[in-house]
Amino acid sequence: ELEETAVFAKPIIYCHFAEGMGEPKYMPIKEWSQLIKLLEEAVLNYNEL
């Protein structure tokens, strides 16, 4: 059985677009809000095509 603190710990997420869609290098995403902003930006750019 896992402790609640382990389950809800801050996630470690790395992706190739952490510094924006034009900067392809793997970096950490520090906050969920940063990831949400990047993904929303990607969707907007995609929908403009």
Asked whether residue 48 carries a pLDDT value surpassing 80, the answer given is yes
* Residue ranges making up the domain that contains 21: 4-47
CA dihedral 20, 46, 49, 45 (to 10 degrees): -40
At residue 37, the pLDDT reads 93
**Per-residue pLDDT reduced to its tens digit, 10-44:** 778 999 988 887 878 899 998 889 999 999 999 99
Q: What is the mean pLDDT of the chain?
A: 86
Its pTM stands at 0.66
- The number of folded domains in the chain is 1
Give the residues across from 27 on adjacent strands.
15
Decide: helix, strand or coil at residue 15: strand
Asked whether residue 5 carries a pLDDT value surpassing 90, the answer given is no
